[in-house]
Amino acid sequence: MSQPGEPVPASEPRPRMSKAQAVYVALSAAAIAFALSFAWPAYAPTSVFWYYPLERRWALEVKPSGLAMDWYGRCLLSTLIAVVAFAVVHLVARRLRPLTRRGHGLWAAWMVTAVLLAMALYASQLAMRNPVPEPLPSWYVPK
């Protein structure tokens, strides 16, 4: 074994990130990817799956043509992106050097920032929204 400060001999394997650390980094990256991809359609027009509850149909589009919900589509999109981010980052992280204490803190800080940014974006856009009500159908009886 080489002593601290001494150059590592070429034959000695370079220390790699432990399995637990790689999972920690990959989970943080997945949470960041989920938060950012979930917030993205609220920031820039993006095609997502919209569900039309009255017609019971799905459509991949940027803007709906009637009463529709994009929440399912955004959840699906973000889940897929988070799974891919987890897999890629886990694969890469296993080849990197062990994570320092500062590295752990940085990943946590990025994760918290991404989630809070997404929450703030939706809260700010929705808090003051003025939705347009649907026309009342003929069978509607007010409760």
Among residues 24, 135, 30, the alpha carbon closest in space to that of 79 is found at 30
Q: CA angle, 40 as apex, 54 and 81 as ends, to 5°?
A: 90
Measured between alpha carbons, how far is 73 from 33 in angstroms, rounded to an integer?
A: 16
Please choose, from the candidates 73, 90, 92, the residue with its C-alpha nearest in 3D space to the C-alpha of residue 20. Answer: 90
Q: What are phi and psi of 12, to 5 degrees?
A: -80, 130
CB of 8 to another protein, least distance (A): 23
Q: Could you tell me which residues are beta bridge partners of residue 73?
A: none
- Please state the closest distance from residue 11 (CB atom) to another protein, in A: 30
> CA 22, CA 104: separation in Å to the nearest integer?
11
Among 17, 35, 48, 89, binds another protein (CB under 8 A): 35
Which two three-digit tokens encode residue 83? 């799974």
Query: Binding to another protein by residue 82, rule CB under 8 A?
Result: yes
The nearest distance, CB 39 to another protein, in angstroms, is: 9
Judged by CB under 8 A, the stretch of 8-16, 78-86, 89-97 that binds another protein is 78-86
Site size for another protein (CB under 8 A): 54
**Identified binder of another protein from the candidate list 16, 27, 92, 94, rule CB under 8 A:** 27
What are the backbone angles phi and psi of residue 43, rounded to the nearest 5°?
Answer: -100, -45
140 binds another protein (CB under 8 A): yes
State the residues that interact with another protein by CB under 8 A: 19-21, 23-24, 27-28, 30-31, 34-35, 38, 51, 53-54, 56, 67, 69, 71-72, 74-75, 78-79, 82, 99-101, 104-105, 107-108, 111-112, 115-116, 118-119, 122-123, 126-134, 136-137, 139-140, 143
